[in-house]
Structure 1
Amino acid sequence: MKRTSYSWLGTLCLAIAMPTMAQQNEGAPAKSLTSVVMPAAAPLTEERLKQLQLPKGFDISVIASGLKNARLIAVSENGDIYISRREEGDVLLLRDPLGKDKNTPLPVAHRPQMHGLATHDGKLYMATVKELYVAEIKEDGTLGELELLVDDLPDGGQHPNRSMVFGPDGMIYLSIGSSCNACNETNPEHAAMLRVSPDGKQRTIFASGLRNTIGFAFHPGTGQFWGMDQGLDHLGNDQQPEELNLLERGERYGWPYAWGKDGINPMGEVPGEIARAQWQAMSTPMVLGYTAHASAMQMVFYTGDQFPATYRGDAFVTMRGSWNRAQPSGYEVVRLRFEDGKPVAFEPFVTGFLSEDGKTQTARPIGLAMMPDDDQGTLFRIAYTGERDTAGKAGSVMPDEPPKQPILEQINRGSGVPLLKDRDGYQTGKSVHLQSSSFSLEGDIPGKHSDYREGLSVQLEWPAVEGAKSYVLIVEDPDAKPMTPFVHWVAYNIPANTTRLPEGLQKTERLTEPEGMLQGQNTRGSIGYFGPRPPVGDRAHRYYFQLLALDTTLDLLPGATRDEVLSAAKGHVVGYGNLMGRYQQAQPPRK
């Protein structure tokens, strides 16, 4: 990839007024502890530009203006700059901003609420609230026809801004914010990081419990995936901090009931009567925190050689700025220092956008690589002009691309293993006759149980097994690609007095009917039953519903994986049953 002279730049945007009362979708109302303080916007004059503070040796300069409402940016291999404008619903092209001939920004794509951008293999990927597009980048920087890849992303709600990066595995990592401040989402793709194939045909939930992670990137040296999540509103001036999280497949990060390292959110009602302390135990704590309500935005790792060598492998994060804190926070760009591949501290990098008294601001930083301001539409360049630093960090030379192996190890976990029915040690004890009124043995599963339609769980029943203290249900598809087998349902601690599961069970971690039944994570990354969804035109896939009767209940938290459940169940099986059904989607479903 060609290195450009603008090694690190970013975007700036003005504030948008936000609601002042806590959003409570269920449960008893919680007291809102919100101080609404919105610093007034002030023009960025030459004098104010000179008042911006950067580390010694760095310089900031204006290279373009009049862009209006700029949001995120992407830079192509030849240095062309693409800028999304959500309010205008377009993407601007800016060519050679450092050259002698200042080119007028050119609109090259138009879709309502355009926001997320990423370049990959000579193409520009663009995300709106519900859609993902791609277009070829032409030699002159303009785009070919936009191709619609995905048209069913979750609704926007409070956090409609989608952002994305390409991972070292060649997949798109697409962030979907929560639809609210704190609530129980009905769509598991809300408050989540999705993993999407470049053709849009495959997508899973990579991680969940992320309220609004707009800034995220893969560390160039370790390949680890880091993201900045925006904390809850209405908990006071100093809660919840902005979170730096190590994002890993299958992990959940606390939202909406746990935050930080040990914080508990009192708002709302936890589904399934799960205790808040248990929800916290189910969640992965943050690694580092930053000042509450600073509104962490985009994040990028520095791998260039224009800055001093000590910056290589560090990250930069824009903090857009608070609207709900008595002493405003954010309105700055921070450096996230890494040592030996691990984050150690945040420190200021560009400050001075917010006045000392906190009453006015000249810009609200959002993106990285460039800094357009969405009111005055100003594009900035940050460069190092001081003495050259040749010492740097030990091992500070960074590869052009992060290593693939760390993310591939996570993705391939649980794939290429036998079905439960083919594993040793589980087909023991009494043979259990498992049956369903939804479909017959080796028969077709009705469409309403598929993910193409309602996605209702099937009805199942079986005779009681003597000596059983609980039951486990695992549903697997051995015909799925590339994850084989694909786990569609993990249920455990089904009470011993339960011998029937009705159609359409809730997709929550703990059920109150049957009382105490727990559900785990499927391969999609969601909780509970995930209906058949073979590719359109594939031959019929087989779905094995496999029941274990156990002489114990499992000491596992809600949301466990198939492998965690089977490991805990081994040696406790007193009965086994199996029912196979088929599903085929011959034609594309009607919209």
Structure 2
Amino acid sequence: MRLLPIFVLIPLLAFSCGKINPPGPKLFKSSKLPVDKIQLPEGFEIEVYAEGVKNARSMDLSPDGTLFVGTRGEGKVYALKDTNGDGRPNQQYVLAAGLKMPNGVAFRDGDLYVAEVSRILRFPDIESRLDNPGEPEVVYDGYPTETHHGWKYIAFGPDGKLYVPVGAPCNICKSEKPVFASITRLNPDGTGMEVVQEGIRNTVGFTWHPETGELWFTDNGRDWMGDDQPYCELNRAPEDGLHFGYPYCHQGDLPDPEFGDTAPCSDFTPPAAKLGPHVAPLGLEFYTSKQFPEPYQGQIFVAEHGSWNRSEKIGYRVMMATLDGNEVVSYKPFAEGWLDKGEVWGRPVDIELLPDGSMLVSDDFADAIYRIYYNPKS
């Protein structure tokens, strides 16, 4: 019998909203992606965890092991399941298709929340309905409809509320609507939406310190100020109601050429670290497991999506920010090689930890998810 290749099966799945379950023990097995080019510290290894997850962006793992994956341009939301216990997903479901930039996914109390540009959707009791999720509930539909920086990363905070960013509707501008260039939050039922942090051009990744509960987030710097400025940012918010400078000040000390005369940089909260010009940091995660050696535990890992308008490309890697208390004392490459001799074959987007302590990294360019793990015998 002639089997259809995976690139044929996936479009068919978008129509049926069913599951892919081809013969063989694994759905995803890569022989094409050059993961041997990825450079890692001694003792670490990388493998393709899932391939053919088109435009894989934000991820969230349920306690029962379902990996939910959002997309941007693809307009789909996926669920991946390992049903045969071999450590890799062997079933892929398309939960929804035709959505508007459904980048953000967040799982809570059995329900899956999905962020479109202007609204938040909820799929109730999703894990019992993966093959037939039905129409989602609209939890909130009051976010702006502008698509410029309109795709959203979402996550539930320690307070049980859903945090939702709203990017600036431009490269550089001052909007009269305070909801732009902010991080908002709302209750799980969609009530109580409020702006929590301001002056944030475009964050597509945030998390909370596992001990202090403080919010940490990435922010993408503005374009068209040259190859080497401004730097993108890693930010820390020890309290609500802070302003991080946009559009007046970038990287904590660089006034904007158009808006910088309005307010000095000293008026705003500086970044915890300047990450590099145009590296496009997205997802980040504190390493809270024990599989990685002690120097990696408790540190922040950041996915750099990579520059799009720099004359010499930069980013396209996973970085590690080492902390001493709340101070970032170093920021160094952890996994790199998706940018190979000036050519790009992959772009890291988000980071998620598996229960065994290994790390998942999504890639919306190679349509893949990688697993990085520590092997002391390597």
- Determine if the TM-score, normalized by the shorter chain, exceeds 0.5: yes
TM-score, scaled relative to structure 2: 0.84
Match of 1:129 in 2: 117
The answer on 1:69 being equivalent to 2:69 is: no
The one of 275, 284, 287 equivalent to 1:299 is: 284
Q: Counterparts of 2:234 and 2:134 in 1: how far apart (Å)?
A: 37
The one of 264, 284, 294 equivalent to 1:309 is: 294
Match of 2:70 in 1: 84
Distance 1:316 1:371, change over 3 A: same
Superposed counterparts of 1:381-530, under 5 Å? 381-386=371-376
Match of 2:144 in 1: 154
The one of 113, 119, 139 equivalent to 2:101 is: 113
Match of 2:327 in 1: 342
Match of 1:367 in 2: 350
Q: Counterparts of 1:148 and 1:132 in 2: how far apart (Å)?
A: 6
The one of 310, 321, 324 equivalent to 2:306 is: 321
SS in 1 for 2:173: coil
Where does structure 2 lack aligned partners over 5 or more consecutive residues? Answer: 1-29, 353-359
Q: Which amino acid aligns with 1:56?
A: E
Superposed counterparts of 1:274-285, under 5 Å? 275-276=261-262, 278-285=263-270
Match of 1:261 in 2: 252
Q: Larger radius of gyration, structure 1 or 2?
A: 1
Q: Counterparts of 2:258 and 2:122 in 1: how far apart (Å)?
A: 40
> Could you give the per-residue CA deviations for residues 535-566 of structure 1, whole angstroms, max 9, x where no partner exists?
xxxxxxxxxxxxxxxxxxxxxxxxxxxxxxxx
> Could you give the per-residue CA deviations for residues 202-244 of structure 1, whole angstroms, max 9, x where no partner exists?
0111011000011111010221111111111111111110111
Distance 1:265 1:364, change over 3 A: same
- 2:282 and 2:305 in contact (8 A); partners too: yes
The answer on 1:251 being equivalent to 2:242 is: yes
The one of 46, 49, 54 equivalent to 2:35 is: 49
SS in 2 for 1:343: strand
Match of 1:548 in 2: none
Distance 1:96 1:226, change over 3 A: same
SS in 2 for 1:50: helix
The one of 274, 279, 286 equivalent to 2:271 is: 286
The alpha carbon displacement at 1:141 in A equals 6.1
> Could you give the per-residue CA deviations for residues 57-89 of structure 1, whole angstroms, max 9, x where no partner exists?
111001221121111111111111111122232
Distance 1:376 1:213, change over 3 A: closer
Aligned CA RMSD, in angstroms, stands at 2.1
Q: Which amino acid aligns with 1:352?
A: G
Match of 1:103 in 2: 90
- 1:221 and 1:313 in contact (8 A); partners too: no
The one of 179, 183, 207 equivalent to 2:169 is: 179
Superposed counterparts of 1:131-280, under 5 Å? 131-140=119-128, 142=130, 143=133, 145-247=135-237, 248-267=239-258, 275-276=261-262, 278-280=263-265
> Which one has the bigger strand percentage?
2
Distance 1:108 1:234, change over 3 A: same
Match of 1:355 in 2: 340
The alpha carbon displacement at 1:155 in A equals 2.5
Q: Counterparts of 1:345 and 1:99 in 2: how far apart (Å)?
A: 38
The alpha carbon displacement at 1:47 in A equals 7.7
Q: Which amino acid aligns with 1:227?
A: F
Superposed counterparts of 1:3-18, under 5 Å? none
> Could you give the per-residue CA deviations for residues 288-311 of structure 1, whole angstroms, max 9, x where no partner exists?
101100001011111112222332
Report % sequence identity.
34
SS in 2 for 1:242: strand
Q: Counterparts of 2:235 and 2:107 in 1: how far apart (Å)?
A: 24
Q: Counterparts of 2:364 and 2:320 in 1: how far apart (Å)?
A: 23
Aligned residue pairs: how many? 337
TM-score, scaled relative to structure 1: 0.54
Where does structure 1 lack aligned partners over 5 or more consecutive residues? Answer: 1-43, 389-591
The alpha carbon displacement at 1:387 in A equals 5.9
Q: Counterparts of 1:115 and 1:336 in 2: how far apart (Å)?
A: 25
- 1:155 and 1:179 in contact (8 A); partners too: no
SS in 1 for 2:57: strand
Q: Counterparts of 1:332 and 1:130 in 2: how far apart (Å)?
A: 30
Distance 1:299 1:102, change over 3 A: closer
The alpha carbon displacement at 1:97 in A equals 7.7
The alpha carbon displacement at 1:342 in A equals 3.4
Q: Counterparts of 1:238 and 1:76 in 2: how far apart (Å)?
A: 40
> Could you give the per-residue CA deviations for residues 401-451 of structure 1, whole angstroms, max 9, x where no partner exists?
xxxxxxxxxxxxxxxxxxxxxxxxxxxxxxxxxxxxxxxxxxxxxxxxxxx
Distance 1:326 1:98, change over 3 A: farther
Q: Counterparts of 1:180 and 1:234 in 2: how far apart (Å)?
A: 12
Distance 1:102 1:298, change over 3 A: closer
Q: Which amino acid aligns with 1:259?
A: H
The alpha carbon displacement at 1:150 in A equals 0.8
